[in-house]
Amino acid sequence: MILRNSANFQLNATPLCIIIAPMETHSPGPRVRIGLAGPEQRQLIYSARHAIYGLELGQYQPNPSRQLTDALDAVNSYIVATLGDDLLAFISITPPGSNYSVDKYFDRSRVPVAFDSGLFEIRLLTVIAESRGSLLAAAMMYAALRYVEACGGHEIVAIGRCEVLDLYLRLGLRSTGLRTQAGKVIYELLTASVSDVRREMPKHEEIVRRIEAQCDWDLPFPFRPSVACEHGGAFWDDVGDDFRSLGKLDVIISADVLDAWFPPAPEVIAALSKNLEQLVRTSPPTDCGGLVRTIAGVRGMPVSNILPAAGSSELIYLAFPRWLTAKSRVLVLDPSYGEYLHLMASVIGCQVDRLPLRKEKRYQLDPGELSDRLARGYDLAVIVNPNSPTGTMISRGELEQVLSNIPNTRVWIDETYIEYAGAEHSLERFAASRENECSAPAYSMLCGNDSLARSPCHGIARPTGLFCGSG
């Protein structure tokens, strides 16, 4: 690959085709890095632009510096594919602002998008001649999409070459019918909502996976968008957290993950109603001793194994910052509860790896894959079982077998929904017998009393062990 000699730069005449067409499997070798361009890589890009868009396509006059730049280079970002010091491909993203390259060719009154804080422009998709027929054009477009998603963009504008217009359309971009010519090339103005392009991605999942497997992703956002499931509380944003509009409870349906699906037990309501005045005007027990003893008796577990808390959120915010630091490596399922990812990645600053659950496997967690990932030596693994929002579950026997072989990794087993599968599937006694496992059930979800949540944490067999329960 000759990537530092501008005479060898050429435009990939069919960008994006590889995201549709089948490709040959690459032989093993050095991995391509996908990341943001630094100063040295920008100089290579400017030389490539001069060779391609100036000399080859005749869109600009050659200049003695043999480099081509424009005013947008002061504000744009380039995503590049490199192999060592060699530049293989690049794409430019113009952020929201006062100027876009489409302004050079079209009057804004004719462009069917809102020029607001959510509009990003994708341009200059370029693959070096020696790298054509690879995954790079697809990788650049996918990386640009992820960039826009990560920045909160909602609309994309682009100018696509007419000879490959159908490929852009199949990716979710919309034709406007507006065309312009620059040098030897005829372009069409294209627009797309980010959500429309994202909806098209499952059709190209095989290519996306190959990009993921063959490239080193060095961009400041994950390769795949988060599909985390938020924990709850948004319901009150609409009802009003000042409790002055409780009449809205009759017309607003709560879809929060946190809330129980069924009414609370009638016996609970009856007991609370009978003693409501006394409960309201007196302080609660200081240590939940009666509750802990009751749980211990029902569960057949020593009192010393149980740590109660006001919901599982209190438990994880109590325990995780004491177990983890910014240097810790943790593993989570994806998709799963978003609260774990938020705490570990955004609050504590851990390195968080995700174990993806695939649609074609019905989002089932594979014990072998879990075992292989845990063998990498994580400080903590979070396993939600049954998982939410997928509803899938790994059997107690399979999970115990996997966890028995990783004595040096702490494992947090979130069993919020285990009672819906059957208490016999719980790992609470297994966790109570080991130093590095914690089981966190949520009785509030089972009993339908989320606003009264108390979380017993089951697992303290020895001082280093912990068994958590929420409810």
Tell me how far CA of residue 352 lies from CA of 241, 329, 376, 409, in angstroms.
Answer: 33, 6, 13, 14
SS3 255: coil
Look at residue 236 and tell me if it is in a domain.
Answer: no
CA distance 442 to 316: 13
Model pLDDT for residues 336-389, shown as the tens digit of each residue:
888 898 899 888 989 898 898 988 889 999 999 999 999 989 999 999 999 988
E strands of 117-257, at which residues? 119-127, 155-161, 174-182, 185-193, 215-218
CATH of residue 450's domain is: 3.40.640.10
CATH of residue 32's domain is: 3.40.630.30
* 331: phi then psi, degrees, rounded to nearest 5: -125, 130
Look at residue 241 and tell me if it is in a domain.
Answer: no
Residue from 166, 185, 182 nearest 174 by CA = 166
Residue 165 and residue 294 in one domain: no
Look at residue 233 and tell me if it is in a domain.
Answer: no
Residue 298 and residue 411 in one domain: yes
Q: What is the mean pLDDT of the chain?
A: 83
Residue from 56, 214, 54 nearest 135 by CA = 214
* 311: phi then psi, degrees, rounded to nearest 5: 95, 155
Structure tokens at 431: 């966790």
What share of the chain has pLDDT > 70, as a percent? 83
**Residue 433: per-residue pLDDT:** 86
Look at residue 247 and tell me if it is in a domain.
Answer: no
**Residue 21: per-residue pLDDT:** 33
Model pLDDT for residues 297-306, shown as the tens digit of each residue:
888 888 888 8
Furthest C-alpha separation in the chain: 90
What is the number of alpha carbons within 13 Å of residue 255 lying toward its C-beta?
4
Residue 158 and residue 283 in one domain: no
Do 207 and 137 form a contact (C-beta atoms < 8 A)? no
Residue 214 and residue 271 in one domain: no
- CB burial of 412-439 (b: ≥16 within 10 Å; e: otherwise) equals bbbbbbbbebeeebbbbbbbbebebbbb
Could you list the residue range(s) of the whole structural domain that residue 110 is in?
6-218
The domain boundary, picked from 218, 253, 283, lies at: 218
**Residue 410: per-residue pLDDT:** 95
Tell me how far CA of residue 150 lies from CA of 2, 19, 191, 222, 299, in angstroms.
Answer: 32, 21, 19, 9, 45
Structure tokens at 304: 């010393």
* 410: phi then psi, degrees, rounded to nearest 5: -75, 135
Residue 212 and residue 317 in one domain: no
CA distance 468 to 194: 41
Residue 311 pLDDT greater than 70, yes or no: yes
**Residue 333: per-residue pLDDT:** 94
Residue 205 and residue 299 in one domain: no
Residue 172 and residue 272 in one domain: no
Domain count, the chain: 2
Model pLDDT for residues 96-148, shown as the tens digit of each residue:
998 999 999 999 999 999 999 899 999 999 988 766 656 888 899 999 999 99
Residue 160 and residue 299 in one domain: no
Residue indicated by tokens 């080991």: 434
Q: Is the peptide bond before 389 cis (omega within 30 degrees of 0)?
A: yes
Residue 314 pLDDT greater than 80, yes or no: yes
Residue indicated by tokens 């702490």: 410
Q: How many residues does the chain have?
A: 471
Residue 206 and residue 298 in one domain: no
Residue 303 and residue 421 in one domain: yes
The domain boundary, picked from 218, 251, 281, lies at: 218
The domain boundary, picked from 218, 236, 258, lies at: 218
Do 461 and 300 form a contact (C-beta atoms < 8 A)? no
Residue from 204, 103, 109, 92 nearest 147 by CA = 92
Structure tokens at 157: 């504008």
Residue 203 and residue 274 in one domain: no
Residue 391 and residue 301 in one domain: yes
**Residue 232: per-residue pLDDT:** 60
Residue 465 pLDDT greater than 60, yes or no: no
Residue 69 pLDDT greater than 60, yes or no: yes
Look at residue 70 and tell me if it is in a domain.
Answer: yes
Do 151 and 120 form a contact (C-beta atoms < 8 A)? yes
pLDDT band for position 89 (cuts 50, 70, 90) = very high
SS3 201: helix
**Residue 264: per-residue pLDDT:** 80
Look at residue 206 and tell me if it is in a domain.
Answer: yes
Look at residue 223 and tell me if it is in a domain.
Answer: no
4-18, 153-167, 170-184, 278-292: least confident range: 4-18
User: What sign does the dihedral 80-81-83-86 (CA atoms) show?
Assistant: negative
Look at residue 397 and tell me if it is in a domain.
Answer: yes
